[in-house]
């Protein structure tokens, strides 16, 4: 072989070696990134054509399912109840990915999770179409329906928890959307539907229950009351409650929205009538460190409900005395999700133990073998049992003869707290109510926020607007 031919052969072998090395590198190290590349339509087509596992509510109610279709994708993702469970399931879209449980449990639903490797090999050798795992949620259909019906078209959210386990029993936001519109195989129509929802002023794609935070208003007085009890005060301890309080270092006057019943009242009376000046004075007496520690013991400043990528609620740092007084009544920069306020109430109802909230109880293979199950987990002990029981009784009195009367249920002892939160002078106040029932053996804790009640501004109050919604959810769960 002459020298030129040898050179050509050498260069050819080198090129093949480089090509083989590059192919090996791509296979071993770049498969994931290439598969996730938005331009890679083959991967997207293959994934969208999977026989995706079902998402279930309690009682094996299918809230997201897959049906065979006679088009290029072979399977159609559908949501039988339309918008009812959208904040839970999220959506599964060709061009816009996924959200909610569809996103956080995507690999299990698609059948690509490591736990399903053996199953995939069996499907491959038997030439059977791969099938995804099913995801069992803790949502109770009757409570979800009651929450959606009671909230109606009002902008806001409802969360219901099992105080003893942390299981999410209902999770509703409004306005909402129909995931079927985004999951459609008519790709252009689905894209237009998504763009319309994503650009809507009232943000129907937002999960207001777990991923939005609001000033909690007077519902935060539960945290202040818990801190006071931890500091040695009793339900009948007296608190200064003037008709108006000038905030320290300012000329700003904090008024009461109700007659507190005197200028020195008990802690129970202050909670029952939601006396602003009493709780502002209480916060000033406790100091910001004790108040912040109590809020954090209930879960503030931490993210919760990873199943839906929940956001952290917030208690501010470095407060001056005026800011501390406002923070003690849930104003200034205090911000909480409905999920967080449900956790506060659930922790009080559970004798001071806050359970970590969860939405998915089990992931089940197509052959019904459990791949994973969730065990209830204690998050913190926010109160001693004795203090929690005292606060439970104070909340019961608030519903029986205080601002929470509209949350009462005939024949059932209910504990609750109202809240009306000012946020922006140009916007209506937020109406809150949080509650638990039955008082002797709490099985449901609920938090409700209504952002924009359809009544005059001066008539908005948590007891009037939000309490009836919470009552409907509790009744459905008892």
Asked if the structure places residue 186 within a domain, the reply is: no
Are 319 and 357 contacting, i.e. CB atoms less than 8 angstroms apart? no
User: 397-417 pLDDT, tens per residue?
Assistant: 999 999 999 999 999 999 999
User: 78-108 pLDDT, tens per residue?
Assistant: 999 999 999 999 999 999 999 999 999 998 9
| Mode of pairing for the β-strands spanning 134-137 and 55-57 | parallel
Residue with tokens 């995801």, as numbered in its chain: 135
Are 393 and 402 contacting, i.e. CB atoms less than 8 angstroms apart? no
Asked whether the predicted pLDDT for residue 1 surpasses 60, the reply is no
Residue 287 belongs to what domain range? 217-361+375-477
Mean pLDDT of 448-467: 70
| Mode of pairing for the β-strands spanning 156-161 and 444-450 | antiparallel
Q: Among 477, 372, 391, 379, which Cα is nearest to 166's?
A: 379
The full DSSP string for 352-390 is TEEEPPBSEEEEE-TTS-EEEEPPP-EEEE-S-HHHHHH
Asked if the structure places residue 333 within a domain, the reply is: yes
pLDDT of residue 13: 82
User: Of the ranges 71-80, 217-226, 334-343, which one carries the lowest mean pLDDT score?
Assistant: 71-80
Asked if the structure places residue 59 within a domain, the reply is: no
Higher pLDDT, 337 or 41: 337
Asked if the structure places residue 430 within a domain, the reply is: yes
Asked if the structure places residue 144 within a domain, the reply is: no
Long-range contacts of 110-118 (CB under 8 A, 24+ apart): 110/47, 110/50, 110/52, 110/53, 111/50, 111/51, 111/52, 111/53, 111/366, 113/371, 115/363, 115/365, 115/371, 115/372, 116/365, 116/371
Asked whether the predicted pLDDT for residue 118 surpasses 60, the reply is no
Q: Cα dihedral angle (175, 62, 436, 358), rounded to 10 degrees?
A: -90
The active-site residue, picked from 93, 174, 218, 327, is: 218
H helix runs in 163-251, sequence order = 179-183, 187-198, 221-230
Residue with tokens 């809230």, as numbered in its chain: 63
Asked if the structure places residue 52 within a domain, the reply is: no
Q: Which residues of 17-35 are buried (b: 16+ CB within 10 A; e: fewer)?
A: eeeeeeeeeeeeeeeeeee
Asked if the structure places residue 344 within a domain, the reply is: yes
Q: What is the mean pLDDT of the chain?
A: 90
pLDDT of residue 121: 53
Per-residue pLDDT band at 459 (split at 50, 70, 90):
very low
pLDDT of residue 120: 52
How many domains, the chain? 1
Mean pLDDT of 61-73: 92
Mean pLDDT of 14-24: 77
Q: What percentage of the chain carries pLDDT values higher than 70?
A: 88
pLDDT of residue 458: 40
Written as six digits, the tokens of 288 are 């910001």
Q: Among 142, 135, 112, 143, which Cα is nearest to 35's?
A: 112
Residues facing 75 on adjacent strands? 68
Written as six digits, the tokens of 66 are 């897959």
**H helix or E strand, kind and range, residue 102:** helix 100-104
CATH number for 301: 3.40.710.10
Residue with tokens 């949350």, as numbered in its chain: 407
426 DSSP 8-state letter: T
pLDDT of residue 17: 78
Q: For residue 372, indicate whether it is catalytic.
A: no
pLDDT of residue 29: 64
pLDDT of residue 35: 54
User: 426-448 pLDDT, tens per residue?
Assistant: 667 899 999 999 999 999 999 99
Model pTM score: 0.88
Asked if the structure places residue 253 within a domain, the reply is: yes
């Amino acid at each position: 072989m002459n020298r030129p031919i040898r050179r050509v052969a050498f260069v050819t072998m080198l090129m093949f070696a480089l090509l083989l090395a590059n192919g090996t590198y791509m296979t071993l190290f770049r498969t994931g990134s290439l598969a996730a590349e938005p331009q890679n339509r083959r991967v997207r087509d293959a994934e969208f054509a999977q026989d995706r596992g079902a998402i279930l509510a309690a009682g094996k109610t299918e809230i997201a399912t897959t049906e065979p279709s006679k088009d290029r994708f072979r399977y159609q993702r559908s949501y039988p109840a339309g918008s009812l469970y959208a904040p839970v399931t999220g959506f599964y879209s060709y061009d816009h990915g996924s959200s909610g449980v569809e996103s956080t449990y995507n690999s299990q639903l698609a059948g690509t999770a490591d736990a399903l490797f053996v199953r995939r090999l069996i499907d491959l050798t038997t030439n059977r179409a791969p099938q995804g795992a099913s995801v069992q949620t803790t949502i109770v259909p009757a409570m979800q329906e009651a929450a959606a019906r009671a909230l109606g078209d009002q902008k806001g959210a409802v969360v219901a928890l099992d105080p003893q386990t942390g299981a999410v029993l209902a999770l509703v936001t409004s306005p909402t959307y129909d995931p079927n519109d985004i999951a459609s195989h008519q790709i252009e129509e689905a894209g237009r539907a998504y763009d319309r929802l994503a650009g809507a002023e009232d943000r129907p794609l937002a999960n207001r229950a777990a991923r939005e935070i609001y000033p909690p208003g007077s519902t935060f007085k539960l945290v202040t009351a818990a801190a006071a009890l931890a500091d040695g005060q009793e339900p009948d301890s007296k608190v200064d409650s003037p008709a108006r309080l000038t905030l320290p270092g300012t000329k700003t006057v904090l008024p009461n929205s109700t007659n507190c019943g005197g200028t020195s009242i008990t802690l129970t009376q202050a909670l029952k009538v939601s006396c602003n000046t009493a709780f502002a004075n209480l916060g000033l007496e406790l100091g910001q460190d004790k108040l912040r520690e109590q809020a954090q013991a209930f879960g503030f400043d931490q993210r919760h409900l990873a199943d839906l990528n929940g956001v952290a609620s917030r208690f501010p740092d470095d407060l001056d005395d005026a800011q501390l007084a406002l923070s003690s009544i849930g104003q200034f920069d205090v911000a909480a999700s409905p999920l967080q306020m449900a956790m506060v109430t659930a922790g009080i109802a559970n004798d001071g133990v806050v359970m970590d909230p969860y939405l998915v109880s089990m992931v089940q293979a197509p052959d019904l073998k459990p791949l994973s199950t969730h065990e209830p987990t204690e998050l913190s002990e926010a109160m001693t049992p004795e203090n929690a029981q005292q606060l439970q009784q104070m909340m019961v009195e608030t519903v029986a003869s205080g601002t929470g009367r509209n949350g009462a249920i005939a024949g059932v002892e209910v504990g609750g707290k109202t809240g009306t939160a000012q946020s922006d002078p140009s916007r209506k106040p937020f109406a809150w109510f949080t509650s638990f029932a039955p008082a002797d053996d709490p099985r449901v804790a609920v938090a409700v926020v209504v952002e924009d009640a359809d009544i005059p501004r001066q008539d908005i109050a948590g007891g009037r607007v939000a309490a009836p919604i919470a009552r409907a959810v509790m009744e459905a769960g008892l």
